[in-house]
């Protein structure tokens, strides 16, 4: 069975604050990278920016908010791009999430390390968590922040054992320390993949000015961390054993949905549905849909869908009729 889900509902989580022996984690700040255009989820991202796409009844970015709040972090900077206006309108000052949100704009994305540089003024001399906005984890990340706080390290990298590390940045570890980072190696020396969450001390600001673009023309966060290693700074791994999803592609978006919903059905009480539902189906608030059957599909908030046949394997936003322009609203799927 395929996997899907969505509905634009904002919920607030009540996650605990963690205390450590080194210092209160509330002294740490958070930086979320959310400037991407979401081209791999186009054309749905024409309707809803990727960071706001709902997965299992919650916008993607709110999963990051919940994790950072669980670490005791209250001040968060969101690095945005051309989506700045929509993001500010949707998220505001962060009070609806129990956070204080700031924004900085990266007009010309040139890699993760390039994006981090825009948050320097916000972070100041504090430690900070760097969180990729399309990453979702099913286990709390607070223990890894606590590990960093107690280690005296300049950087902690969340890593996870994977079967095929060639698709990831890979960490080589000796005696509990990261000694080498390689981006998508052809012949990996380790199966520890970089898993999208980092904790930094202020030492990172010392190396960023000397960072050179990689072969693909981007300023890589792995290169910046390798510079810390080469300077003799302590860089440690945080080995994550839970489920981790990068929701930036259709397949991963749907896999995340299936995992979080247990392949069940979520239909908002305000939706008007005239169809047989089969498999993993999520229908958001304000939706009006008429079809013979809806199977393994997601219909986002306020969509209007009218077809005579069946909808299968689809992610839908906006308005769809049998004679409508489906390319404007459907990322994947079929209609009979």
Q: Give pLDDT, residue 321.
A: 62
Q: Are 238 and 148 in contact (CB under 8 A)?
A: yes
Q: Is 17 exposed, middle or buried (0-12, 13-18, 19+ CB in 10 A)?
A: middle
Q: Give pLDDT, residue 47.
A: 74
Q: Give pLDDT, residue 277.
A: 94
- Does 245 lie in the same domain as 317? no
Domain annotation covers residue 220:
yes
Domain annotation covers residue 108:
yes
Helix (H) or strand (E) holding 267: strand 265-267
- Does 71 lie in the same domain as 214? yes
Query: Mean pLDDT of all residues in the chain?
Result: 85
Q: Give pLDDT, residue 18.
A: 36
Give the pLDDT confidence of 28-79 residue by residue, as tens digits.
999 999 988 777 777 777 778 888 988 887 899 999 999 999 999 999 999 9
**CATH code (residue 119):** 3.90.550.10
- Does 288 lie in the same domain as 220? no
Q: Are 296 and 2 in contact (CB under 8 A)?
A: yes
- Does 191 lie in the same domain as 116? yes
Give the chain's domain count: 2
Token pair 């509330």 in the structure block, residue: 26
Q: Are 205 and 133 in contact (CB under 8 A)?
A: no
Low-confidence ranges of the chain (pLDDT < 50): 1-23, 25-26, 323-329, 331-335
- Does 156 lie in the same domain as 204? yes
Q: Are 28 and 125 in contact (CB under 8 A)?
A: no
Domain annotation covers residue 86:
yes
Which domain covers residue 145, as residue numbers? 25-250
Domain annotation covers residue 10:
no
Sheet holding 265-267, edge to edge: 265-267, 281-283, 298-299, 315-316
- Does 200 lie in the same domain as 54? yes
Reply yes or no: is the peptide bond before residue 181 cis, omega within 30 of 0.
no
Cα angle: 38, vertex 39, 44; to 5 degrees: 75
- Does 169 lie in the same domain as 296? no
Q: Give pLDDT, residue 330.
A: 55
Long-range CB pairs of 329-336, under 8 A, 24+ apart, other chains included: 329/43, 329/44, 329/47, 329/303, 330/43, 330/44, 331/41, 331/42, 331/43, 331/44, 331/250, 332/250, 333/297, 335/307, 335/309, 335/310, 335/311, 336/292, 336/307, 336/309, 336/310, 336/312
- Does 219 lie in the same domain as 86? yes
- Does 188 lie in the same domain as 293? no
Q: Give pLDDT, residue 15.
A: 29
Q: Give pLDDT, residue 322.
A: 56
70 torsion bin: left (phi>0), alpha (psi -120 to 50), beta (else):
alpha
Q: Give pLDDT, residue 92.
A: 97
For the chain, the C-alpha Rg in angstroms (whole number) is 21
**Looking at residue 277, what DSSP letter applies?**
E
pTM as predicted: 0.84
Given 196, 224, 250, the domain boundary residue is 250
- For 265, the token pair is 């059905």
């Amino acid at each position: 069975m395929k996997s899907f889900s969505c509905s634009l509902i904002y919920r607030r989580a009540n996650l605990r604050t963690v205390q450590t022996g080194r210092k209160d984690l509330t002294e740490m700040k958070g930086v979320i990278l959310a400037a991407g255009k979401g081209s791999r989820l186009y054309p749905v991202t024409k309707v809803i920016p990727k960071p706001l796409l709902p997965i299992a009844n919650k916008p993607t970015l709110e999963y990051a908010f919940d994790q950072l709040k669980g670490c005791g972090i209250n001040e968060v900077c969101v690095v945005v791009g051309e989506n700045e206006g929509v993001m500010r309108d949707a998220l505001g000052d962060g009070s609806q999430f129990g956070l204080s949100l700031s924004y900085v704009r990266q007009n010309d994305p040139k890699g993760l390390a390039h994006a981090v540089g825009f948050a320097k003024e916000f972070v100041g001399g504090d430690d900070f968590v760097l969180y990729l906005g399309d990453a979702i984890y099913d286990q709390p990340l607070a223990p890894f922040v606590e590990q960093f706080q107690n280690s005296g390290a300049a950087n902690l990298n969340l890593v996870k054992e994977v079967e095929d590390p060639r698709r990831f940045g890979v960490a080589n570890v000796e005696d509990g320390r990261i000694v080498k980072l390689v981006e998508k190696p052809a012949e990996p020396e380790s199966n520890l993949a970089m898993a999208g969450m980092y904790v930094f001390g202020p030492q990172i600001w010392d190396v960023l000015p000397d960072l050179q673009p990689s072969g693909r023309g981007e300023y890589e966060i792995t290169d910046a961390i390798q510079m810390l290693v080469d300077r003799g700074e302590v860089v440690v791994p945080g080995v994550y054993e839970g489920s981790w999803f990068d929701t930036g592609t259709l397949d991963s978006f749907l896999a995340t949905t299936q995992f979080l919903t247990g392949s069940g059905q979520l239909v908002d009480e305000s939706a008007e549905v005239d169809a047989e539902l089969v498999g993993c189906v999520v229908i958001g608030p304000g939706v009006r849909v008429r079809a013979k059957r809806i199977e393994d599909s997601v219909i986002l908030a306020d969509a209007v869908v009218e077809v005579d046949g069946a909808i299968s394997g689809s992610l839908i936003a906006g308005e769809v009729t049998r004679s409508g322009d489906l390319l404007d609203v459907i990322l994947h799927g079929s209609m009979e």
